[in-house]
Chains A and B, each alone.
Chain A
Amino acid sequence: MATQREGFALDPVTFEVLKNAFITTVDQMGEQVLRTCYSFVIYNRDFSSALNDVNGDSIAQGNYDIAVHVGTLHYTCKDVIRYFGDDMHPGDVFAINDPYAGGTHFPDVRLIRPVFVDGKPIAYAQSNGHWSDVGGSVPGSFDVAARDMFREGIRITPIRLWDKGVFRRDVADMIASNTRDPASIIGDMLSQAEATRVAERELLRLVGKYGKETVVAGFADVQDYVERAMRQRLLALPDGVWETQDFIDRDPAGGEGMIPVKVKMTKTGDRVIYDFTGSHPCIGSLYNSAFGSTFSAVAAGMKTFFPDLPLNSGFYRPIEVIAPEDTVVNARWPVAVTGFLMPFEKIMNSIYEIWSKIIPERAIACAFNLEYLLTGGRDLRSPAKPIFMFYDWLPGGWGGRNGRDGCNVTTACFGTGLQSQPVEGQERGSPILTTEYQILTDSPGPGKWRGGAGVRKASVLRQADKTVISYICDRERAIVWGIQGGLPSMPHGLSLTRSGSDTVEWLGSAFSDVALREGDNFSRPTGGGGGFGDPLERDPIAVREDVADDYVSLERARKDYGVVLKVIDIDLAEYEVDVEATTAERARIRALRREWLAEEPETVAQKFRAGELDALDLVRHYAVILDWETGKLLPNSTAQFREMHAKRASAYWAD
């Protein structure tokens, strides 16, 4: 055998073989869950799997795990170990979903099986899946009006679900009975428990082949290995302190003004500290994050810049997170946290912004804000009038990149494995007809490298009764931003057109329990990604191609990029760049754009109300934020938005 290597207990071959075997084991768990699950959320890939060591630390996570669970699976395993201690036996399976113990939110339920060798656990197999419902006051368990967890769903602190191989029906039924879909919940318990058994079988095979000591040494080695690789990468990068902030739109229980999430990153040698001091106290909605989710956002954000490193606790060791208690990034029981993804994605994008400066070849501007739409009621298509639940989420645009446009229509940054749902499936399951689901022209944030395009989806409620709609989104005010001179995209928010009416009501980006009637049309866009670099430096030919494909309109090609196009033949989608007019238009914009950003916000708001400017003009050229329904100026939000716009956009313009 090879000589002993520093930092490794195992020889290099056994190490590499075991490392890959651990990852394959976790992937096999994922495969099993995907093929047998009941929750349509899990089916669309909102799940993750892990192997944890006897301390609960992560040995391996799957290649296809959803980002948002990264960095939380070791916490939940540790909590199960803390609670049950030595009271564990072969055949036991435990469950936990507790966000206050490091979980994400109540729908993410983890099943954890200890793997025994010689009468002692050597590891834990963990399968985490987003159940379709865990009770609470609204279908799908996302209540925008919740301020504490009692409206959100059932909190599962560590419980024993299988006792020495026997399924505890009493406990399982009690949990399932607190949800809207008991049969599926039991199905998902079986599916996830079986996945942990797959991992147990594989680990026991490895123990049979290599011996317990070797396999257990491998658990430690793979974590040390990732830690070492991570530290080496960090060492090679410059030290420094970087600060930024992003915002949640508002506190429904507070006054006007956006809610800051502040991030200060200090990198020294092979360590990074993320300090969230200065972030806003917990707010009066479900848009709060408990510590586990905040840690997860940090880990997932960093992983984006080190995409090839395997995920396990070794990756987390060089990272320290300081998050003051009782803020939006460290909420404690019983504060509502089911909308933790809102602070989560603000942290993710802040980390993108910071690391874009350190590793410019991986730079990326802000991505659209994830969103959920929940509609439920009685389906009158069938005489039994069954309950229906239309639970939808959309893809959108990702940020412009260094030398490349952003990705069009991609799943939100909380997990790019998540699939969007087929309309034909939704229309079968719910009395809803979708009238439009397509790319939204002009949604991309302008830039030298523009953001990716978002979409618009509009649907009509058909034969239904007792139906309500809720919407969970953000960045109606804290608009998706560009970097290095790039511009923002557009406000998120849902519009409602009542049956028989021509009036479009703006309901915005967060509301709950609005009554819907047959024939009502609800429509919402997703933002494009933020732009990267000055849009006036974009190649006019690229703008022409975007217009030919309707990613950008003729009008906004001129307004945002200063590119003037002549229509050659609309049938052939042929346009020509008017070079002279483009040069002149770009010069005109350059001469004026700093003045626009300094213009009195109330004057700008008046122009909006008079129809002289539209919302895209306001956010892109004037950095002014309104109540989009009334056109009323939001002075505090505008001041906050302008401050960041100056740092991210105008500071980078060459002239």
Chain B
Amino acid sequence: MTSLRVAVDIGGTFTDICILDEDTGLIRVAKTASTPDPIDGFMTGLREGDVVLADVALLSHGTTVATNALITRRLPRGAMVSTEGFRDVIEIRRANKEDLWDTYKDVARPYIPRRDRLTVKERVDAAGKIVTPLDEAGAREVARILRKRNVAAVAVCFMNSFTNATNEQRMKAILEEELPGVAITASSDVMPEIFEHERFSTTVVNAILAPVVGTYCERLGERLREGGYKRDLLLLHSGGGVMTTKGARQFAARLAGSGIAAGAIASRYIASQCGFPNSIGLDMGGTSCDVSLAWEGKSRVTKDWYIEFGYPIRFPSIEVLTIGAGGGSLAWIDEGGSLRNGPQSAGANPGPACYGRGNTVPTNSDANVVLGRLGKGLAGGSITLDADKARDAVQTGVADKLGMELHEAAEAIVRVANANMADAVRLISISRGYDPRDFALVAFGGAGALHGFALARELSIPVVIVPPNPGVTSALGCLLVDVQHDLSESYIQSVATADVAAIEARFAALETEAWERMRHEGVDDDQVVMERTVDMMYQGQWRSMAVPVGSPIGSLDAVVLAFHDLHQREYNFRRDGAPVDLYRLNLRAVGMVPKAALAEHATGGARPEPLEHRPVWFDAPAAFDTPVYWRPDLPAGAVFDGPAIVEQLDSTVVVPPGARATVDRYLNIVMRMEG
């Protein structure tokens, strides 16, 4: 019997399957269209990948079900119960707008409408003292109304509950008693941290997603069991780890952003495999491009994120910057006469002009067709590319208007797209104190490998890696993760007055909670690793930075020194004498999932004959006669110099003149600038 590890990554357009045979380490992939009920696509994908569920040792899953439920507002009726006078915290938000100037671009409506936000008399002050005890009769009255309204989920959000949860927990208990079967979520359970909007918003998202995620897990679990799967289903969360379905029901909001994390994890893994602990991931698809960064083998994590602006989800999430630059991004001339690229996109339908489905505005893909970088078809010929239509679009849309020659115009389109992506990479790297020259760029997604090398050159990144299956790299990310829980709590104290024993006790309490969660998920104790960090800042500052600390912490002096160093690295200045504050304690608990090794291929295979030679334009008026290789033909160890094009089912790799490409033993193409 074979033993398989299977990852299923469901995106908006495609469902990607990645299957790893534990015995051989070989990977095979499948891709199928996503379906209105994502579970249908899931099962179809398994069938197309010839997966026998009874043979599957581990099934992990990246899903957009939570994200989509939020965006489309296809949510169960949820309610919120808060302190009297604070019904509107989640509608008031921080009151700011995402688009500062466009008065017709609105912030999304709250996930729970005002009528379903009820209040009860109670109050706790900043020091944790109960100023007003919970009005039990009022609490029962709220429960009566909510029962009558037949709500599926309730978020209990009381002021200052992070300092004293007594009232909030009592309210939760009353609701649980009065509303059996309804998911009740208290803010002090989800995120015991200061700042009401951020805590309430996270709690509300968690509460209303609980029934969505619960139902989904149940339905999917049933189909999988019917198919013969006997193990736990693992769900990828935004923090870059997985949870079992038990954990997912409790921390449903962590599934929001699940899909985006997968690509970042895969890119980090692939770079590490090639010996690069520092990497930048470039996941470029049809409409957008996701940029992520890993430093010393770890993905950058942020707590400042949201699915819709104004509604923060404060669970840690892998930091990903998304910009509107994809294969389908439109190139256009604005009224000031400038050549623009995106963010509008022709999407998958009608798609670029070369798809021949009616769009005549040039896109990045059209420019790549004109330049000869894309050939006659995509996805193994299932999409035919019409070069005449691409040329017409570039000629009339850009070349004629700017008085350029056709190929010059196409080159211009690509250069602007690359420059926009380079700006995004700068924001996530240079402005965080990282030097791109210390990184490798992992280029994937359908279009990443077309632009990767040029982008790297723009940023002085010395190495570009294109994984074997660029189009399904995210699914690979789902295969490579561990069970992970992130816990935190506010701890606001000056270093000068902080008591190490008290901090140690708080960490111990967080660890107890983390052990409980890990056991609940069935992780063996000896597989669990705990990592502590403390958020710190100079006294008087408002943003903190996470500083890793040991267990036990030992002396705070070393921690403070580490903080000064980190501040220096990220912000280029330090105030060695200035007082430092502690702000928050964080604990990451990781339940290691045993990894299967990917197959290594013997190097030394001969370079194959190219499929063809075709003219390809690179920064020059004349085309290069360029060999085109079929990627499955390229053996490990093959070395070739640009110009070259490598075609494969789900992507096209551009190796420009001056670059040298090597196929490594994992079949990654690794490109470097020669000379």
- Show the binding face of A for B, using Cβ within 8 Å: 1-3, 5, 7-8, 12-13, 15-17, 19-21, 24, 27-28, 31-32, 34-38, 40, 43-45, 63-65, 67, 183-184, 187, 190, 194, 197-198, 202, 225-226, 228-229, 232-233, 303-304, 307-308, 362, 364, 381, 395, 398, 401, 404, 407-411, 415-420, 422-425, 427-428, 433-439, 455, 458, 548-551, 571-573
Q: Are B419's CB and A419's CB within 8 A?
A: no
Residues of chain A within 8 A (CB-CB) of B570 are: 35
- The answer to whether B74 has its CB under 8 Å from any CB of chain A is no
Beyond contacts A437-B88, A438-B86: 19 other A-B pairs, Cβ-Cβ < 8 A, are A2-B404, A5-B402, A12-B404, A16-B419, A24-B426, A27-B427, A28-B426, A228-B337, A232-B336, A362-B103, A409-B95, A410-B95, A411-B96, A417-B100, A422-B194, A423-B196, A439-B91, A455-B92, A550-B114
B519 surroundings in chain A (CB, below 8 A): none
Tell me which of A404, A417, A423, A548 has the highest count of chain B C-beta atoms within 10 A of its own C-beta. A423
Nearest residue, chain A, Cβ from B148: A571
B339, CB-defined interface residue at 8 Å: yes
Tell me the residues in window 633-674 of chain B with beta carbons closer than 8 Å to chain A beta carbons. none
Q: A24-B426, A229-B336, A395-B92 are in contact. Are A436 and B100 (CB under 8 A)?
A: no
- Selected from B125, B334, B543, the residue in CB contact (under 8 A) with A35 is B543
B32 to chain A, nearest CB (A): 37
Instruction: Tally B residues with Cβ within 8 Å of A.
Output: 76
CB pair B91–A24 under 8 Å, yes or no, is no
Cβ–Cβ contact A190 & B194, under 8 A: no
Of B91, B93, B94, B115, the residue contacting A573 (CB under 8 A) is B115
Q: Which residues of B (207-258) have their CB < 8 Å from a CB of A?
A: none
Which of the residues A45, A229, A418, A439 comes within 8 Å of B334, measured between beta carbons? A229
Residues of A within 8 A of B102 (CB): 307-308
Least Cβ–Cβ distance between A257 and chain B, in angstroms: 31
Q: What is the distance, in angstroms, from A289's C-beta to the closest C-beta of chain B? A: 21
Stretch in B38-46, B408-416, B470-478 with 4+ CB within 8 Å of A: B408-416
Q: A27-B427, A28-B426, A43-B542 are in contact. Are A404 and B149 (CB under 8 A)?
A: no
**CB contact list, B137-172 vs A, under 8 A:** 144-145, 148-149, 159-160, 162
- The answer to whether B159 touches A572, judged by C-beta atoms less than 8 angstroms apart, is no
The answer on a CB contact under 8 Å between A194 and B571 is yes
Closest CB in chain B relative to A8 CB, distance in Å = 7
Q: List A contacts of B115 (CB < 8 A).
A: 548-550, 573
B85 x A362 contact (CB < 8 A): no
Q: Is the interface of B mostly helix, strand, loop or mixed?
A: loop
Q: With A16-B339, A233-B335, A416-B100 in contact, do A437 and B538 touch (Cβ < 8 Å)?
A: no
Instruction: Say yes or no for B420: interface residue by CB 8 A criterion.
Output: yes
When distances are taken between beta carbons in the complex, the residues of chain B under 8 Å from A548 are 115
B residues in contact with A398, CB < 8 Å: 103
A1 and chain B: residue at smallest CB distance: B408
B485 CB, nearest partner CB in chain A, Å: 25
Contact of B431 among A28, A232, A401 (CB under 8 A): A28
- Residues in A with CB closer than 8 Å to B97 are 407, 410-411, 416-417
Q: Binary interface profile of B, 310-353, with partner A (CB < 8 Å = 1, else 0)?
A: 00000000000000000000000011111111000000000000
Q: Once the chains are docked, how many angstroms separate the CA of A28 from the CA of B572? A: 13
Q: Is the CB of B402 within 8 A of A20?
A: no
Residues of A within 8 A of B338 (CB): 12, 15-16, 19, 225
- 23 residue pairs bridging A and B, Cβ less than 8 Å apart: A2-B412, A7-B337, A12-B412, A20-B419, A36-B541, A36-B543, A37-B543, A187-B575, A190-B575, A198-B572, A202-B430, A395-B95, A401-B103, A401-B104, A420-B96, A422-B195, A433-B123, A436-B84, A438-B92, A439-B91, A549-B113, A549-B115, A571-B148
B423 and A20 contact, CB distance less than 8 A: yes
Query: In the bound complex, how far is the Cα of B402 from the Cα of A318, in angstroms?
Result: 26
B335: which A residues are within 8 A, CB to CB? 228-229, 232-233
In the complex, are the beta carbons of A17 and B196 less than 8 A apart? no
Q: Does A37 lie within 8 Å of B91, measured CB to CB? A: no
Which residues of A are found within 8 Å of B340, using beta-carbon distances?
16
Nearest B residue to A224, CB-CB = B336
Nearest CB in chain B: distance from A308 CB, A: 8
Complex Cα spacing A36 to B543, Å = 7
- Binary per-residue interface labels of chain B (489-530) against chain A in the complex, 1 for a CB within 8 Å, 0 otherwise: 000100000000000000000000000000000000000000
Given contacts A5-B403, A424-B126, contact A304 B101 (CB under 8 A): yes
CB of A572 within 8 A of CB of B148, answer yes
Closest to A23 in B: B423
Are A433 and B427 neighbours in the complex by a CB distance under 8 Å?
A: no
Q: Which residues of B contact A304 (CB under 8 A)?
A: 101, 103
Q: Which residues of A contact B194 (CB under 8 A)?
A: 422, 424-425, 428
Interface centre among B337, B412, B419, B571 (most CB of A within 10 A): B337
A44 CA to B337 CA, complexed, in Å:
36
Any chain A CB within 8 A of the CB of B620?
Answer: no
Q: A225-B337, A411-B95, A416-B97 are in contact. Are A2 and B573 (CB under 8 A)?
A: no
List residues of chain B with CB within 8 A of the CB of A12.
Answer: 337-339, 402, 404, 412
Q: Shortest CB–CB separation between residue A218 and chain B, in angstroms?
A: 12
Are A455 and B543 in contact (CB-based, < 8 A)?
Answer: no
B residues less than 8 Å from A43 (CB atoms): 542-543
**CB <8 Å contact, A424 and B160:** yes
Q: Are A433 and B131 in contact (CB under 8 A)?
A: yes
The 4 closest A-B pairs by CB, nearest first: A395-B95, A229-B336, A436-B85, A307-B101
Question: Taking the nearest CB of chain B, how far is it from the CB of A387, in angstroms?
Answer: 14
Residues of B within 8 A of A20 (CB): 419-420, 423
Closest Cβ–Cβ distance, residue A432 to chain B (whole Å)? 9
Task: Find B492's partner among A44, A409, A428 (CB 8 Å cutoff).
Answer: A428
B412 touches A37 (CB 8 A): no
| Option from A7, A32, A404, A455 in Cβ contact (under 8 Å) with B571 | A32
Contacts of A198 in B (CB 8 A): 431, 572
- Bound form: Cα–Cα A652–B145 in Å: 43
Q: Nearest Cβ distance between residue B466 and chain A, in whole angstroms? A: 25
Within 8 Å CB of B148, what residues of A?
571-572
Q: What is the distance, in angstroms, from B591's C-beta to the closest C-beta of chain A?
A: 32
Closest residue on chain B to residue A19 by CB atoms: B338
Contacts of A63 in B (CB 8 A): 100
| List of A residues within 8 angstroms of B542 by Cβ | 37-38, 40, 43
Q: Does B99 make an interface contact (CB < 8 A)?
A: yes
Interface check B87, CB cutoff 8 A: yes
A21 to B420: give the CA distance in the assembly, Å: 8
Q: Are A21 and B100 in contact (CB under 8 A)?
A: no
> Closest CB of chain B to A20's CB: distance in Å?
6
Tell whether A5 pairs with B337 under 8 Å between CB atoms, given A36-B541, A428-B492: yes
Complex contact B104–A416 (CB within 8 A): no
CB within 8 Å for A439 and B107 given contacts A20-B420, A183-B540? no
Measured between alpha carbons, how far is A350 from B103 in the docked complex, in Å? 15
Any chain A CB within 8 A of the CB of B197?
Answer: yes
Give chain A nearest CB distance to B291 CB in angstroms: 13
B91 close to A408 (CB less than 8 A): yes
Q: Among A3, A28, A232, A395, point to the contact of B430 (Cβ < 8 A).
A: A28
Shortest CB–CB separation between residue A27 and chain B, in angstroms?
7
Contacts of A232 in B (CB 8 A): 335-336
Q: How far is the CA of A1 from the CA of B127 in the complex (A)?
A: 67
B557 contacts the other chain (CB 8 A): no
Task: Tell me the residues in window 378-432 of chain B with beta carbons closer than 8 Å to chain A beta carbons.
Answer: 402-404, 408, 412, 415-416, 419-420, 423, 426-427, 430-431
> In whole Å, how far is A597's beta carbon from the nearest beta carbon of chain B?
29
Q: Can you name the residue of chain B whose Cβ is closest to the Cβ of A422?
A: B195
Residues on B with C-beta less than 8 A from A415 are 100
Q: Which residues of A contact B492 (CB under 8 A)?
A: 428
Residue of A nearest to B567 (CB): A36
Does the CB pair B408–A2 fall under 8 Å?
Answer: yes
Q: B residues within 8 A CB of A35?
A: 543, 570-571
Bound Cα distance A198, B89 (Å): 36
C-alpha spacing A409/B106, complex, angstroms: 12
Contact of B149 among A40, A407, A455, A571 (CB under 8 A): A571
Chain B residue, CB-CB nearest to A440: B88
